[in-house]
Amino acid sequence: MSAILDLPPSAPERRADGHRIRTLFLAIIAFSALVAVLVSTHLYGRYGIDANFATRLLGPSWIHPAGTDQLGRDMFARTLHGLALSFWVGLIASSLSVIIAILLALVATTCGRLADEAVSFLVDAAMGLPHFVLLILISFSLGGGTTAVIIAVAVTHWPRLTRILRAELLQLREAEFVRASRQFGKSWFYIGRHHFLPHLVPQLLVGLVLLFPHAILHEAGLTFIGFGLEPSKPAIGVLLSDSMRYLTAGKWWLGLFPGLALLMVVLCFDAIGNGLRLLTDPRQEQT
């Protein structure tokens, strides 16, 4: 018996442990970066926002690691301000998308066949439309700005997650404990609240993390083409848009550092989401 208990872990178990360690490491990096960005924006205050024409268009140096822009504002501080703004916009928009997705999935699986067909039609219609064009139309119709971007991103990022949650709920409906609850006279609302929602927490968490980088990228894209956040705010899309007028003059740092910061944030959260998906899916852990 002791010899059996002392057997070394199998290859799938070692791979699963490696996924857990890598995911934990990336999660710690992402959380530390988020905290550092949010804290630094408070420490910087108005630095990087107020103009200083005495230091305009300076290249990277020890005093200004990412150079300065056309108004003499420190690009490193402005990039941190832009990341903090993108974090909040992405978090609010992705959270709203997750809420929309779970509500529609619950309606589709607990309110009868007609509701299921209506939700399926909405999902197919939303996925069939050009995604970025729909974002532009919604943001433009709402007049642009932070609120318009959040609404546009939130109401266009729920279809895929809704389809996944609906499929998961359809499987849960056939579970023995759900059938037992129905036989005891419990309503679908009771079952959805006490049985369905606890089982969907891993999917909701993974969906939130995976929607987060998409929300940030689309917010930056909308702002870059002029349909997003206000030009007065130090958003990443605003920084990249302003840099386009000076790149041909050799001011490469104006677009390089904001672009790299945005890329690192998106890749980090995308890796965390993929790792969480592996951890919460037992079938993939054993492959």
Q: Is residue 153 part of a domain?
A: yes
Cβ proximity of 88 and 267 under 8 Å? no
Q: Which residues pair with 68 in a beta bridge?
A: 74
pLDDT band for position 3 (50/70/90)? very low
Task: Say how many domains are in the chain.
Answer: 1
Task: Classify residue 237: in a domain, yes or no.
Answer: yes
Average pLDDT of the chain is 80
Over pLDDT 70: what percentage of the chain?
87
User: Domain for residue 255, yes or no?
Assistant: yes
**What was the pLDDT predicted at 16?**
59
Partners of 74 in the β-ladder: 68
C-alpha 42/C-alpha 64 separation (Å) is 18
- Contact indicator for 100, 107 with CB cutoff of 8 Å: no
Question: Does residue 1 fall inside a structural domain?
Answer: no
> Is 60 a domain residue?
no
The answer to the question of residue 27 being in a domain is yes
User: In the prediction, which pLDDT does 2 show?
Assistant: 45
Domain range enclosing 209:
11-47+72-285
Q: Is residue 226 part of a domain?
A: yes
CATH number at residue 222: 1.10.3720.10
Instruction: Please answer whether residues 246 and 70 qualify as being in contact, where contact means their C-beta atoms are separated by less than 8 angstroms.
Output: yes
pLDDT, tens digit, 9 for 90 and up, residues 101-118: 988 988 888 777 888 888
Angle of helix 197-224 relative to helix 236-243, nearest 10 degrees? 30
The verdict on residue 212 lying in a domain is: yes
119 has pLDDT over 60? yes
Structure confidence by residue, pLDDT tens digits, 153-191: 888 888 888 888 888 888 887 777 777 777 777 776 777
